[in-house]
Structures are given as C-alpha cells and as structure tokens.
Amino acid sequence: EARKYLDNARPTGLALSPRIEITPSRELYSHGRDSLQNQYLNISPRPTLTVPGYDNLAYREPQCLSPASSNSSTSWHSENYSPWASPLLLDVRNKRGTFLVRDSESTKGAYCLSLLDHDSTRGLNVKHYKIRNLDNGGFYITSRTPFDTLQQLVAHYRRQADGLCHVLTDICPIPDPQTKGLAKDAWEISRDSLELNVKLGQGYFGEVWMGMWNGTTPVAIKTLKPGTMSPEAFLQEAQVMKKLRHEKLVMLYAVVSEEPIYIVTEYMSQGSLLDFVKAPHGKMLRLPQLVDMASQIASGMAYVEKMNFVHRDLRAANVLVGDNLICKVADFGLARLIEDNEYTARQGAKFPIKWTAPEAALFGCFTIKSDVWSFGVLLTEVVTKGRVPYPGMVNREVMDQVERGYRMPCPADCPESLHDLMLTCWRKDPEERPTFEYLQCFLEDYFTCVEPQYQPGEIL
C-alpha cells in the first residue's frame, strides 16, 4: 500500500522510474554510512529546496573543486545535510550520474562518493562508493586506479565510468542554510509539514506511518500517545540520538517535540524484521541470508557500543528492513523515556521481559552488555522466522527459569555453533558476554571460518 502511494505521489518528471528507492552498493558501500559533510556544489543555480531548519535555500557556485577553509564562502565542507544526502540526489531534476563527495563518518580522513543511478528494475537509486586513502596521501576507489588528489579522482570518473555504475556528470546542488531567525533547533520541524498517508503499524505507545515531508520526501513517522514520555526529556534524548550516524542505524531526520511527539526517520520499505521474517517471503530465507541480516544488526550495535550508548529495547520488532535485505536498528534510547507504569515496573505486560537481561529486569541495570543479551534473543527470532522467545512460558516464569540457569535450546535446523554464540550472549555475568564488535566479526565470517561446509536444511 505504501509503495502504491509512492507511485501515485511521484512527480511527473519520474515517468521512466517504476519506483523510487535507495539501493545500497553491497560490494562497495551502503546507504547512510557517512554523514554528508564534504560536498561538491553545483555550478549552475537551481530552484530552491526546503530542508528542515532552512528557508528560501539558494545554490551557490564554488570557485574550485577543492576543500576550502571553514570560514570561506566557497567551502564544500558542511555538517548540515547528513540526513538529506540521498533526497538531494534523488531530486527529480537531477540526471543519472549526478554526484557528490562527502566525509566518511566511520573512517576519519576518508571520503565517500555518492552517485545517482537509474535502471529499469530499481528506477532511480543512489549508490555509494568508499574512497580509500593511500599511505602516501593519495586516494582510490579501486586499488588498480590510484590518484594523488580527490580532484584527479573526480576528473577521471567524469571521463569514464571505469567500474562505477555510471560516469560522473553533474555536481549535486546543495542549498545554503539560513543563518538567522532559527528560534528552535534545526531538527525541529512543523507538524504541518508532515502528511500521514499509510498506517504501517501500532503498539502500546503509538503508531507508525508512512508519510511525506513537505510533499516531496518519503519518510516514516512515529507518533507517540500523549503522556508516553516527557517532551523535555525526549528533546534532550533526541539531541544525543541525532549524533548517531551509521549505515545500520535508522536515520533520524527530524522531530516534533510538542505533544503528540512525532519522530521522523528514513522510510524502510519492508517494515520491521519481525513482520518480514514471518511473512511468506521471509519464510523462504535460508541461513546465509539470515546470518547476513544478523551481522548487519551487530554492525549497527557495534557502533552504538563504540559511542557509549545503550539501546535498551533490542528485538526484531525494533529492527527495520529495506530493499535487498538491508537491516537497520531503530528506536535506540527511547525505552528509557517511557513513563507508563506497566512498563516502568519492569514486570508489567508492556515490558519486553523475554528480551531483557536479568540484571536489567530485576535491578534496572541497562548497559551495552544487557543489549548483547537481547541480541542473543533476537537471533532466536531470526532463525525461527519470528517465533516468540521462550514458547509456552509467561513472563514471570521466564524470569524465574532464567534466574535458575535455564537457557533456550537450539532451534530446529540451527547449527550448534550459532546456538553456542547465543549462549555466550546469555552468560549470567555481563562482563563475560561478547562485545558487539566480536559478534559482528563472528557473523560476517561465519560461513568462511565457522561453518564452511554448511548445507541447506528443510528450514534453514
């Protein structure tokens, strides 16, 4: 239904595109991995574009394609467009090959080339290529073609594609920010700028909608019931959440902090991981695909770990799936703010006790290690295609049994090595549980180092 709405809402300039989506380049780089900081700017002016926190945006012409000092009016380095890289490239006025270069957030001193592509299957999509650094100071996308400077790299790929999806054509237009008159945080937007179009789901504390921002940008909108959390506390938490930028975390675009609170994020076309694996197409997935999806989640959580943040509610329902089995962690940090008595009591019906580590459920001690416990439970959801953990047990029974040392047995068709990994996540002593960095590496190398002789079974 959401895809149908997008098709109907598509501007007429996209007549050749069967759908709008962002397609990650799995072999090189994935959507959203880096903040949009270093940018090439368009040479010719374009009509204005609206971005939350900016008004009457114009495009400026750079004097040269090179980094400028931070106080230069021609600098192509900016931190203001992190959430808007792909929407900027997907502007219907851009043609295939439109590009920008930006700083890598995950690798200090590295860059990323973002390139607009089009094909008959996926329509308009954005591919991202990591620009790596040479020890001598040069740059390359493929090691066989190194360059001394970024300018030489760009000039080369403007002459020929040489392995890219398309030759570089136009520089992506970037708007100038408004520098005065911003009474609120630039991430705060007007409720009137959002359209709630297709209801995607609902829970105890609110609803999730597919919608449009300013009539142009597809977004996901989480609406929270009044009283769910303090607007002041939420806004404070959002200040932290918006700094978390990783390819495997759902990107926070903007917020409406007055009740009812709206949280605006990137739109993930396939919905929650829980619903995805329970659906007919999810039932067709086999272990390699499922392990890859789990490794993506571990990658996002490894970044959360590195940033000294805690999720508090990691489960399949809070992971979203996009096209090409891309998985991203969502709703990080929100659980701490919920003020509902049935939730804060930690034994109430609304509290996700089956995913919660004992020290967190009993004493409220939430750490990244309690997230690791939750990840182990999430793994059971993935390999069982959405089965509720601890089948046949109620919450109180789960707490009692886990305290006595009970751990879920190995699911059907699941390799013992993967179940052993789950058991390490469920160690009683939090310090004995693995790091997410370890979990990511284990899962990424699983079929190379752990199960090289894997053969598909009836279920997995």
The catalytic residue positions are: 313
- The helix (H) or strand (E) run that includes residue 387 is none
Cβ-based burial of 376 (10 A; exposed 0-12, middle 13-18, buried ≥19):
buried
Helix axes 436-444 and 287-306, enclosed angle (nearest 10)? 150
DSSP letter at 178 equals P
Beta strand ranges found along 292-358 (DSSP E) = 319-321, 327-329
In this structure, which amino acid lies at residue 329? V
Which backbone phi and psi does 327 adopt, to 5 degrees?
-115, 140
Rounded CA-CA distance 393/332 in Å is: 27
Cβ-based burial of 277 (10 A; exposed 0-12, middle 13-18, buried ≥19):
buried
Q: Is 222 annotated as a binding residue?
A: yes
37: tokens are 């900081």
Which residue has 């609170």 as its token pair?
A: 261
238 touches 292 (CB < 8 A): no
DSSP letter at 285 equals -
Cβ-based burial of 227 (10 A; exposed 0-12, middle 13-18, buried ≥19):
exposed
CA dihedral of 298, 301, 305, 310, whole degrees rounded to 10: -140
DSSP string computed for 82-149: GGGHHHHHT-TTPPTT-EEEEE-SSSTT-EEEEEEEEETTTEEEEEEEEEEEPTTS-EESSTTSEESS
Q: Which residues are annotated as a binding site?
A: 222
Q: Which residues are annotated as a binding site for ATP?
A: 222
